[in-house]
Structure 1
């Protein structure tokens, strides 16, 4: 096996292996009574609220696909809504295999089926992510204001520092800026090709500044995140113990879950454990908290697997001419 192929395999196996190990460790370290209680909590979960959570999840994904058009339109592209939605779902499915690979896949699918240059499509996805990151910061701010002392104490105890995420993004932005400066004056060779790609990327990112429907874009962004919170909120009613948790606790769990999901493929293993630990910190049982984490993670992951797999199948079928 070549070094390049080995690196690709390790990118999949290491995060996946970490997730599987954490699942094993969590279950093996629990007492038989704790495992029984955890399973009973999951088994007795009211399917009505799980169904509602899935509906909110679908609405958020559909809104994301619809919102994408506002960024593509200034560059003269109008992909079909169905193709945009399937590209979004296929990207989420890809992220379960290799973290963050979905963004590249979204751009590639739009290139394949809608003739949108990859660098421009990918540029719009970067702009999307910037808008979503600002929304996450807003949710973090609200959660901190509602549970300041307890949330900061929990982050410290778990060695989770959100500042690292901000620093990482700043470094990425700095690296991109430096890259633009290096290739700006290129006239030939590889740097000329890179400059062409980066110019397209920049055009895609700038599309957010030239949108005709800025209000609609903001409205969809708010709607997407409202759906995220609602699909998280309604799951609390599946666990009687967790049902009494207030909005501040739920937002705190939402924030912690959002940070933890990037550690492994789609949060496998890490997500339920982290959510459970936070609920324990707020005085709930470990079994109830982890059951909440497993239900929200399991239901939304199953939704992504089903819709993502269907998207992979239907994209070539519905776009035979491509």
Structure 2
């Protein structure tokens, strides 16, 4: 009786902990999104005053709704198609990783568990990776730790791909970034005095870290980071088990080219961004990718902030950039992930109904 009570208490505590996590991360995402909206609304109101537009005719919310209705549906459809292509390729790549360590799993289960994982990430960041691994292990009757190990590898490859895209974007668009910083911050925040001050602060910070290095290295946080990095490296090394490396690389390229093309095609769907080209799409895609990495549900708020920062480099007005970020975010992160995630909840039991 006592053991049952203890077990039920543990389950309840775990549930409460997950609910608390969800509320915390949701608050972070909504908080950032609301802050961005209010900030842009003030700027929009100020712009209306300069243009002599009456206050009652100047609403950022109304503009956002009008911008959503103005998009070219054809290009949004192409964005959604590219999203599906990326997921189909990801399912194939994941199958290759599992086959490399002796696990043969069905393509349907691989694909649909990925879709459920994306939907779950909208609640608690990264919980979707654990969920898709657990579901696949359940339906394919495979060891869950081995399945989760392949997801670590899968995400490690994604990190490397994002870093490469980031490097490529900064190399190809260095002049744009430098010109923007010089034009906007040369007289104030990037003054010589500030650079010296930042240098002194950085030197003091490194000095403190050096003096406290033994205490830091013995801390639990350092241990967790070290364990994560070691697992990350082991995961990268396990790619050697993949049978067809050229095909694995091909699927990786398809995944990331699909992500990139989604941004470019969304440019074409929206008037204020339709003039932007491939390099601007690359920079916006990379910034948006970094926004998704931050701990908020599905990148809510952080994604918007990063996309707006990228579009500012190309002279897109903040209000238009805010609309663009919402168009891409809501069409992919919310519409696609929720729709196909719910569909996956129906498809997985149907695909596995004959299994004992």
TM-score (norm 1): 0.81
Note the residue ranges of structure 1 that are not aligned, 5 or more in a row. Answer: 158-169, 181-200
1:259 paired residue among 290, 306, 319: 290
Match of 1:194 in 2: none
CA distance in 2, matches of 1:171, 1:128: 23
In structure 2, the residue matched to 1:313 is 346
- Whether contact under 8 Å (2:97, 2:242) holds in the other structure is yes
Q: Which residue of 2 aligns with 1:72?
A: 98
For residue 249 of structure 1, report the CA deviation from its aligned partner: 2.0
Cα deviation, residue 263, structure 1 = 3.0
- Deviations 1:54-90 (Å, cap 9, x if unpaired)? 0000000010001111111122221110010001111
Aligned to 1:160: none
Where 1:241 maps in the other structure, the secondary structure is: helix
Is there any run of 5+ residues in structure 2 with no aligned partner, and where?
Answer: 1-8, 46-57, 190-221
Q: Output the CA distance in 2 between the equivalents of 1:319 and 1:264.
A: 33
Q: Which residue of 1 aligns with 2:36?
A: 26
Aligned to 1:89, which of 95, 100, 115?
115
Q: Tell me if 1:212 matches 2:243.
A: yes
Q: Which structure: larger Rg?
A: 2
Residue 171 of structure 1: CA displacement? 8.0
- What SS is found at the alignment partner of 1:312? helix
CA distance in 2, matches of 1:176, 1:234: 36
The alpha-carbon deviation at position 275 of structure 1 amounts to 1.6
Equivalent pair of 1:72/1:124 in contact (CA under 8 Å): yes
Q: Corresponding residue for 2:55?
A: none
Q: Hey, what's the Cα distance between the residues in 1 that align with 2:63 and 2:306?
A: 18
Q: Which residue of 1 aligns with 2:303?
A: 271
Q: CA RMSD in A?
A: 2.6
Contact preservation (8 Å) 1:67, 1:217: yes
Q: Which residue of 1 aligns with 2:266?
A: 235
> Once the 2 structures are TM-superposed, how far is the Cα of residue 18 of structure 1 from its aligned partner?
2.1
In the superposition, the TM-score normalised over structure 2's length comes to: 0.74
Alpha carbons of 1:146 and 1:105: their partners in 2 closer, same or farther (altered >3 Å)?
A: same
Contact 1:92/1:102 (8 A) holds in 2: yes
Which residue of 1 is the match for residue 54 of structure 2?
none
Partner of 1:197: none
Give 3-state SS (helix, strand or coil) of 1:272's partner.
helix
